[in-house]
């Protein structure tokens, strides 16, 4: 369960950082990746979703690990990573500092891989 717990902690803190930045300062995020700050409303929505699902979900899992929340966390991380990777391959990002997007895709893949065990019942001890 150790790798799962570490992955959940990374998921929590990375999502809190990204989520807070996107929710409260989307223009700063655009400056960091050197992209035009046009229609940043969608960034706020993503920030809210990161905090609501990843941060709160990770905190709940850390308090009381269970397979259902593990499935939610793994599925969310995998979908987020796949979506970012697809957009990266389709050249949909306008960022000039594309390395930050690439690093985010790698982080998402690592976190999803680490969360994979949390989505399986055999990871949890039964009493």
Question: What is the model's pLDDT at position 126?
Answer: 67
Phi, psi of 55, deg, nearest 5: -70, -55
Question: What is the model's pLDDT at position 78?
Answer: 95
CA distance 56 to 12: 8
Question: What is the model's pLDDT at position 127?
Answer: 56
Q: Answer yes or no: is 113 within a domain.
A: yes
CA distance 109 to 113: 6
Question: What is the model's pLDDT at position 25?
Answer: 96
Domain span including residue 101: 2-121
In total, how many domains does the chain have? 1
Q: Answer yes or no: is 101 within a domain.
A: yes
Q: Answer yes or no: is 126 within a domain.
A: no
Two structure tokens written together for 125: 């001890």
pLDDT tens for the 127 residues of the chain, in order: 689 999 999 999 999 999 999 999 999 999 999 988 887 888 999 999 999 999 999 999 999 999 999 999 999 999 999 999 999 999 998 888 999 999 999 999 999 999 999 999 988 876 5
């Amino acid at each position: 369960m150790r790798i799962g717990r570490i992955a959940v902690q990374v998921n929590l803190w990375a999502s809190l950082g990204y989520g807070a930045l996107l929710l409260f300062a989307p223009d700063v995020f655009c400056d960091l990746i050197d992209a035009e700050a046009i229609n940043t409303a969608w960034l706020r929505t993503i920030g809210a979703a990161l905090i609501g699902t990843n941060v709160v979900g990770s905190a709940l899992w850390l308090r009381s690990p269970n397979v259902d929340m593990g499935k939610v966390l793994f599925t969310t991380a995998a979908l987020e990573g796949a979506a970012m990777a697809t957009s990266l391959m389709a050249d949909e990002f306008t960022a000039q500092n594309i390395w930050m997007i690439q690093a985010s895709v790698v982080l998402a893949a690592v976190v999803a891989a680490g969360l994979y065990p949390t989505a399986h019942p055999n990871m949890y001890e039964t009493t």
